[in-house]
Chain A
Amino acid sequence: MRLKRCVMLAVFTAGLVLLATSPGWSAEKLPSPDQLRKEVKQLRQAGKEKDEILKILTTKYKGLDLKGLAALGGKDKGGKSAAPEIVTKPLTFAAPARTAKPAREIARLIDTHIEKTLKDAKLTASPLCSDDEFVRRAYLDITGVIPTADQARTFFDSKEPNKRATLIDQLLASPNFGRHMADLWQAKLYPKDSTNRFLLKQPFVDWMAESFNKNMPWDQFVTNILAGSGTVGENPAVTFILANQAVDKLTDHVGNHFLNIQLQCAQCHNHPFIKDWKQEDYWGVAAFFSKVQADKPRNANKGGDNSLIGVVDSNTRNKSKDFFPEATKDVAPKYFKSETAAIAPTEALRPVLTKWMTSPSNPFFAKAMVNRTWAQLFGPGFVNPIEDMHDDNPASHPELFLAMAEEFGHTGYDLKNLFRSICNSQTYQRTSKPNDLNKDDSDFFSHQTVKVMTPEQLYDSLNLLSAPEGKVNKGKAQDQPKKGANGPRDQFVNFFLAGAEEPSTTEFEMGIPQALKLMNSRAVTAGKVLQDVSKSADPAMVIEKIYLSTLSRRPTTSESKRLADYVAKNGTNPTTFGDILWAVLNSSEFTMVR
């Protein structure tokens, strides 16, 4: 043990010395190598661990480069490395190739294409949706939560001719947009398994929400996640690598989530049906991850600080035994359907991969996100299953799909613009009520789809109803107790996920336990809605308030009559109104997005 520490110390200090003498450090600010050695020794003798020493020294001496240090001082191999050290450069991104069409033009493009295919299929489209359908749908699709009664009323009463376009802009500018997108992506990128039980999730979720809110271009977002370096504290995007510490998991993510292809079958053999994916394709991509060094999460119960663990590129193969599955094939890094990567000896591998993935010539990247975003807003995508794009599974609207993907690339992968384009189209704004002629259509978007709320949307919407007037519980900081335990929001979401890894918006997956909870749990309340109802309250007004708060609309004439009869029969009292509220909260209209 003792010997190991001495050796570690030597390597660690040697590393510091290397950096101290490398160009780029200003001599007046930083200590001499000898002084550094002394300080490290003193701190060691004081019982400080490597991370604390790093922290203390970098605070004391501004400009001390952490990244190189993090790679050193680990498991010693005798102090001599055969391969040259990787020079970790900051990630850079190209500017958009040309200016793109404005959102409203893309919206018209969408409508032109859709209308043409409808005509060819001899289908009649349903009309545009009403304002009340629109307001709830837009709020839920873009910000993940229903509007308040006031917000709904304001929208209905507005006489502004472009109020729908204005609302879309407002919703895209809301911080809830980022939060909603982060919810969707954390389910995909952060597996809930036992190896991750101590790995911090909130910094990653916060980073994602921030990135979506400031409209980080999609290629940058993906590059940061796949190729980021540093500790969780410095760069929360590295959490993705930390949560998926195996080359096959990482490669599967690359395929499924960012390129929408099912590459994982080719892990063990050439895909028997899809001639596109061969084993060499799979392992060629996996090779880009083979030299990632990632820390294992620390035991938080023993005081381990998981904001200090991190990821870095190196020039040696990752030595962790779990990082490579059985029957790993070691091949040179290679883009599939393309040439072998040309990589300089000191060049980090991962940025080479992400550059290829996000380049305009990559046929999958832009299409993948367009497909996914379309599906988020419509239910089905252009290609279904969403993550299964290949030659034998063609898009329903190939020309439109290609055009939108190209435009997405031209905007520099501007995600909010993509949302804006789609949401402003008439296709998006059609009612989800089918007519007799189009009720069997699920491919041509003749009408919108009734989608199911995700558990997060359900929780946030219920939370809105039980929050005191004017204050929305974001369910963030206070719901995240320490030590990786789940807060109320997480518990609710896990319960309603009922074992699925991520929610489906096109299938209703609640089972009996979930129905029981919504019907009988005292925790599911809508305390705010009936808060100020007095004995002299006008039943019609109370009912309207219930409807506006939950369903974002006023009751229809026949509904009003039916409910007025109910009140007359059972009395104007909190119990009666409670019944009506209960029924609304348990209705499919509440948990669905029409």
Chain B
Amino acid sequence: MLSSTLVENSRRDFLKLAAAGVGTTSLSGWMPILANTAASASVQAKRKPKNVILLYMDGGPSHKDTWDLKPGTKDAGEFKEIQTAAPGIKVSEHLPKLAALMNDGVIVRGMSTPEGAHARAKYNMHTGYREGQGGLTYPSLGSIVACELGKSDAAMPNFVSIGARSYGSGFLGPKYQPLLVTDPTRGVEDISATVSAGQLDNRLGLLGEMEKAFQGEYKAGVINDHKTTYERAVKLMHSKEAKAFDISLEPTSSASKYGTGRFGEGCLMARRLIEVGVPFVEVVLGGWDTHQDNWTRVKANSQQVDAAESALITDLKERGLLDNTLIVWMGDFGRTPHINTRSAKPGRDHYPKAWSATMWGGGIKGGRVIGKTDSEGATVLEGKTNAMDFLATVCDVIGIDHTKQNEAASGRPIRIVDKPQPFSKQII
């Protein structure tokens, strides 16, 4: 879901307040950190901007059956552990290719978040905030990256979301909304003209004349905005970069590495988009809400992730792009250490108190684990990381200064949350 369930002071009103000098053009401290994070600040000075691929696991992937297995314990489940390329790190047997690439990645086993309902958890993980906080709808990470790192005159959109509706730009406004691709095999809807290039030119010529006349008489800002949007759309249609959306152009030998299914196709498209300079791509894989039949479904999903993500990492590496692309793997929350036997096919239920996320590439020091859970995977013993901490770390890695704050108090008080504690120092 895109919007908060609370009535908000709309972004337009927010911007009006800003324009009236009450607020600021910065991101209103969307990641509020109090001033004394000198360590973070110095870290950021060195990082050049990086692109992001967010692999979002919709439904809440079971941590005990993917990245944080507890073999030999009572509710360990059906999967075995395998050794990864990084000494001392073991993962599920159904992630072998990623295991081999472990030195490029980091497992965050100390994730601990407050939301156990899907919609609220998704909002929390995408924005760092909890739904309803401050009465505003906060922008998701993709919109923040589009705003901070995107180029406003680029032909390609700065935030693409593949496979499902994503969290949007909140108070940042429509300019930073994601471009949605629901079916990767069909690319961007309506990106191709229905007429020949020549005829399209004729049409655009007519349109241009009409616009000039209309603006000449009415002189309204909205008419200008219309012009800008259309110009960008046409630029996209004509750009060679737009071919990145057409995955049929990928040689089969290369495409087949990503595995079958929409997620694999989405990851392939994500790589192509990164190659043409799109700063943020989100690819969603659903089906993780395994209250029932946990192991069959987690295995199937793991196989998709293993094929697609390892292909992504390898391809980016080959093209010299991995150091400049951070791949984030995360979901709504984890799943219960305890196995429920309510139905014939046992499963695990929602569990945000302790779970795992991973990061790959982006020049991070891979082959390590951040945080640790107890023997059951039920509580975090070290390295507790909430959504804000996690996203602040992502910002540190990709070169966004999340300490940016309001210059003046805005007209809307925004509840200050706990000082985020990014773990960036451990990985960069």
Contact = CB atoms under 8 A, between A and B. Distances in A.
B12 A504 contact: yes
Contacts of A594: 218
Contacts, number: 176
Band of interface residues on A: 35 or more
A499 interface: yes
Contacts of B16: 384-385
A495 B9 CA distance: 22
A515 B203 contact: no
Interface in A568-584: 570, 575, 579-580, 582-584
Given A517-B190, A587-B214, A509 B202 contact: no
Contacts of A521: 189-190
Contacts of B413: 265, 269, 271-272
A191 interface: yes
Interface stretch (B205-213, B296-304, B379-387): B205-213
B269 to A, nearest CB: 16
B199 interface: yes
A516 B222 contact: no
B6 A498 contact: no
Nearest to B193: A520
B223 interface: yes
A195 interface: yes
B9 A517 contact: no
Contact of B207 (A257, A450, A587): A587
B425 interface: no
A583 B210 contact: yes
Interface stretch (B171-179, B247-255, B286-294): B171-179
A512 B179 contact: yes
Contacts of A272: 413
A587 B210 contact: yes
Band of interface residues on B: 35 or more
Interface in A484-504: 498-502, 504
B226 A591 contact: yes
B236 A512 contact: yes
Interface in A502-527: 502, 504, 506-517, 519-522
A273 B410 CA distance: 10
B177 A252 contact: no
A321 to B, nearest CB: 12
Nearest to A501: B3
B8 A501 contact: yes
A443 interface: no
Interface in A170-221: 191-195
A520 B213 CA distance: 24
B230 A586 contact: yes
B233 interface: yes
A219 B234 CA distance: 49
B192 interface: yes
Given A264-B135, A588-B222, A592-B223, A510 B206 contact: no
A508 B226 contact: yes
B189 A522 contact: no
A365 B328 CA distance: 49
A425 interface: no
A582 B226 contact: no
B411 A273 contact: yes
Interface in B195-241: 199, 202-203, 206-207, 209-211, 213-215, 217-220, 222-223, 225-227, 229-230, 232-234, 236-237
A52 interface: no
A194 B1 contact: yes
Nearest to B117: A194
B169 interface: yes
24 contacts: A193-B3, A252-B7, A264-B6, A385-B9, A385-B17, A433-B219, A434-B219, A510-B174, A510-B226, A511-B175, A512-B232, A519-B193, A519-B230, A520-B190, A521-B189, A522-B194, A558-B213, A582-B203, A582-B207, A583-B210, A584-B210, A586-B230, A588-B226, A591-B226
Interface of A: 191-195, 248-249, 252-253, 256-257, 262, 264-265, 268-269, 271-273, 325, 384-385, 387-388, 432-434, 439, 449-452, 498-502, 504, 506-517, 519-522, 558-559, 562, 566, 570, 575, 579-580, 582-584, 586-589, 591-592, 594
Q: List the 9 closest A-B pairs by CB distance, nearest first.
A: A385-B13, A515-B233, A583-B206, A508-B225, A499-B168, A450-B220, A588-B226, A520-B190, A252-B7
